[in-house]
Amino acid sequence: MVKPKVQIENLRLSYGPKEVIHGISFDIEPNEILGIIGPAQSGKTSLLRCINRTIEFTAGAKPTGTIRVDGEDIAKMRNVYELRRRVGMVAPLPVGLPLSIYDNVAFAPRAAGMKKKSELDTLVEKCLTQAALWDEVKDRLDSLGTKLSGGQQQRLTIARALSHSPEILCLDEFSIAIDPVTTMRIEDVLKVLKKEMTIILVTNLVQQARRLAARTMFLWNGEIIELGPTEQLFGDKPKDKRTYDYVNGIFG
């Protein structure tokens, strides 16, 4: 039995008086791609933000329960910035920081104290290559990240998330701003990255979860309806009828 990478126990989250995640528990195995599917407002993004503790920046958000990364309770971690470097996050809408392309990718390593130009150069090239962006921008690394197209900015965002060598990579609907061809290229990258890190893939494209994830979780209204091998959820006989309806697009 492999030790789980992330253990979530009875996680509840409320914004003010409104509870949006109602006590969910599950484990994430190391080096797996876990797909999370579910309609809007089901708590997918909130769940991810609990894992890297950026939920703390939302006024009134109050998570309870335990989240462990490598067995360590994240609520008790003193160095929350270290946690956020270990848990990479890609938001649904691309955010190019108002810096050059190079500085966008070098931002996190610099914030963590890396100064050597040669190390930064290597890292920037590696991350941009992994995010399938290097060939398009290698001649203009000095131009502004905000001037890139939406799809390019999204890949820049992915490169930035990879720049601090996360152990866990959370992708929150990363493909809504990218064309299908680029999406496929990044999906190929994810299959390779799986060897180095654990990937949590929140997606509205149920077929994307099917292509990439070994296990998939169906989250609905802050509760886990079903969590199991992807083929089980997408097969003819998932455990819960709602899963069948959702993945086949006949959800009411």
Partner 1 sequence: MSAHTDITPQATFAETPFTRKKRTQELIAKCFFGGMAALMVIPLIYIIVHVVAQGWQSLSWDFLTTNPRLGGAKGGIWSVIVGTLYIVTFSLCVSAPIGVLAAVYLNEYAKESWFTRIVNLAVVNLAGVPSIVHGLFGLGAFVYAAGMGKSILAASLTLAIMTLPVIIASTKEALAAVPRQFREACWNVGATRWQTIRRIVLPNSISGILTGVILQVSRAAGETAPVMITGVAVFKAVEGTGLFLYDPFREQCMALSMHLYFIATQASNVAPSLPFAIATVMIVLVLAVNATAIAFRSWLRSRKKW
In the complex, the residues that contact partner 1 under the rule CB under 8 A are: 52, 54, 57, 59, 81-85, 88-89, 91, 93, 95-99, 107-108, 111-112, 144, 146, 157, 160-161, 163-164
- Cβ contact 129:145 at 8 Å: no
CB of 89 to partner 1, least distance (A): 4
In angstroms, the first-to-last Cα distance of the chain is: 39
> How is 7-48 classified by DSSP, letter by letter?
EEEEEEEEETTEEEEEEEEEEE-TT-EEEEE--TTSSHHHHH
Q: What CA–CA distance (Å, rounded) separates 206 from 234?
A: 9
> Which C-beta is closer to partner 1: that of 72 or that of 245?
72
Question: Of the two residues 175 and 216, which places its CB atom closer to partner 1 in the complex?
Answer: 175
**How near is the Cβ of 136 to partner 1 at its closest, in Å?**
20
Of 119 and 188, which CB lies nearer to partner 1 in the complex structure?
Answer: 119
- Of the pair 161, 212, the CB lying nearest partner 1 is at 161
Of 215, 242, 209, the C-alpha closest to 228 is 215
Within a 10 A sphere around the Cβ of 179, how many other Cβ atoms?
12
Q: How far is the CB of 81 from partner 1 (least distance, A)?
A: 4
- What is the smallest separation between the CB atom of 130 and partner 1, expressed in angstroms? 15
In angstroms, what is the minimal distance from the CB of 141 to partner 1?
Answer: 15
Q: Which is nearer to partner 1, 159 or 212 (CB)?
A: 159
Query: In which region does residue 7 sit, left (phi positive, over 0), alpha (psi from -120 to 50) or beta (all else)?
Result: beta
